[in-house]
C-alpha cells in the first residue's frame, strides 16, 4: 500500500462555497460564523479500515442486489467504472466506494421522496465495492432518471449518481456526484452551478466509454475520482520520498 505520510491539507478554494442562494437549502445549512481550523486526530488520519468480508457478491450490481438476484431492475443497463487516485496520481487500493441513486423514473426509495414516478419493486438504489490493487472499481446499474426538486419554480436534477469514497482515512473521505455526458440539465442545475469553474464541473461528468460497453448488454461510463493525497515520508538520503 502506498502511504503513509500526513494528509495534504484540503484546498478549500477548490471546492464550491457552502453558501449559495440559488441553491435554496444551502442558505440555512451553511455556517454563518468563520470556520475554525483544528489539528486532525489519529483516527481521522488512519481510520477506518474495511475488510473484504464486508462486501457481498452482488453489492456492486444494483440491477440485481435488491432482489438478491431474483429479478432485474427496470431501466437502461449501464456499467460505471474508473479508478480512485490521490492528487499525486497514485492509485488508492482497497478503499470503500459507495453509491446511491434514483431509479429509472427518477424516484428514490426513501420515505421523503413523493415524486409521481413509481418505485421499482426490483430496485433498491444502493451499492458498494472495494477498489482493487490498482484503485479500480466498477458498478453495474441502471441509468437514473432526472427528477424535479423544490428549489426555484421549475428546477430539475440532471441524471446523477451519488458517490462516497472513504480513501485511506476519514480525513480523505469525499462525497460527490457523477453526471452523464451530454445531459442538457447539467447546465441548468443550481447544485452543479455551485461549482464555478467549468473545467472542475467537467470532471464530474462521466464520458460515454464504448470501449468498456458490452454489445447487446450495457453501455459504459468512465468516472475517475481524485482524493486529496498523503505526503510521503521523506528520507535524508532520498529527498524525493520512499
Ligand atoms: Fe440525488
pLDDT tens profile 92-123: 999 999 999 999 999 999 999 999 999 999 99
Distance 96 CA to ligand 1 centre (A): 20
Q: What is the pLDDT of residue 234?
A: 56
Cβ distance 195 to 187 under 8 Å? Answer: no
Residue for grid cell 430539475: 156
In a domain, 124, yes or no: yes
Is residue 83 in a domain? yes
pLDDT at 52: 64
102 Cα to the center of ligand 1, angstroms: 7
Asked if residue 82 belongs to a domain, the reply is yes
CA 151 from centroid of its chain's CA atoms? 23
- Please give the distance, rounded to the nearest whole angstrom, from the Cα atom of residue 86 to the centre of ligand 1: 25
Nearest to 7 by CA among 170, 135, 172: 172
Q: What distance in angstroms lies between residue 52's CA and the mean position of ligand 1's atoms?
A: 28
> Does 38 fall in a domain?
no
* Count of Cβ atoms closer than 10 Å to residue 159 Cβ: 21
Return the pLDDT at 236. 58
Q: How does pLDDT run across 62-82, given as a tens digit for each residue?
A: 999 999 999 999 999 999 999
The answer to the question of residue 51 being in a domain is: no
The C-alpha angle 36, 48, 95, rounded to 5 degrees, equals 110
Residue 3 has pLDDT above 60, yes or no: no
pTM for the model stands at 0.92
Q: How confident is the model at residue 15 (pLDDT cuts 50, 70, 90)?
A: confident
**Which of 60, 23, 49, 58 is CA-nearest to residue 169?**
49
Q: How far is the CA of 49 from the centre of ligand 1 (A)?
A: 27
Whichever domain contains 144, its CATH number is 2.60.130.10
> Is 240 among the domain residues?
no
14 pLDDT band, cuts 50/70/90, is confident
**198 C-alpha to center of ligand 1: Å?**
21
The domain in which residue 68 lies consists of 56-227
Q: Give the residue numbers marked as catalytic.
A: 108, 147, 157, 160, 162
Cα 67 to ligand 1 centroid, rounded to whole Å = 22
Cβ–Cβ under 8 Å, residues 79 and 140: yes
Whether residue 71 is contained in a domain is answered as: yes
How far does the centroid of ligand 1 lie from the alpha carbon of residue 106, in Å?
9
Q: Does residue 41 fall inside a structural domain?
A: no
Could you give the CA distance from residue 170 to residue 35 in angstroms, rounded to a whole number?
19
Count the domains in the chain: 1
Amino acid at each position: 500500500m502506498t502511504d503513509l505520510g500526513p494528509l495534504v491539507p484540503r484546498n478549500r478554494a477548490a471546492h464550491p462555497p457552502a453558501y449559495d442562494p440559488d441553491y435554496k437549502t444551502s442558505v440555512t445549512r451553511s455556517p454563518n460564523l468563520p470556520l475554525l481550523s483544528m489539528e486532525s486526530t489519529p483516527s481521522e488520519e488512519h481510520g477506518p479500515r474495511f475488510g473484504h468480508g464486508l462486501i457481498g457478491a452482488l453489492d456492486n450490481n444494483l440491477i440485481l442486489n435488491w432482489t438478491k438476484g431474483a429479478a432485474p431492475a427496470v431501466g437502461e443497463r449501464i456499467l460505471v467504472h474508473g479508478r480512485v487516485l490521490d492528487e499525486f496520481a497514485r492509485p488508492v487500493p482497497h478503499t470503500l466506494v459507495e453509491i446511491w441513486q434514483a431509479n429509472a423514473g427518477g424516484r428514490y426509495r426513501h420515505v421523503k421522496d413523493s415524486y409521481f414516478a413509481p418505485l421499482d419493486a426490483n430496485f433498491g438504489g444502493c451499492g458498494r465495492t472495494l477498489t482493487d490493487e490498482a484503485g479500480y472499481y466498477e458498478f453495474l446499474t441502471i441509468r437514473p432518471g432526472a427528477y424535479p426538486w423544490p428549489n426555484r419554480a421549475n428546477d430539475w436534477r440532471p441524471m446523477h449518481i451519488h458517490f462516497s469514497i472513504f480513501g485511506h482515512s476519514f480525513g480523505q473521505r469525499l462525497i460527490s456526484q457523477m453526471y452523464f455526458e451530454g445531459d442538457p440539465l447539467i447546465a441548468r442545475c443550481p447544485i452543479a452551478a455551485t461549482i464555478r469553474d467549468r473545467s472542475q464541473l467537467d470532471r464530474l461528468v462521466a464520458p460515454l466509454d464504448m470501449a468498456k460497453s458490452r454489445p447487446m448488454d450495457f453501455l459504459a461510463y468512465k468516472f475517475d475520482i481524485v482524493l486529496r493525497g498523503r505526503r510521503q515520508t521523506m528520507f535524508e538520503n532520498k529527498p524525493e520520498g520512499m
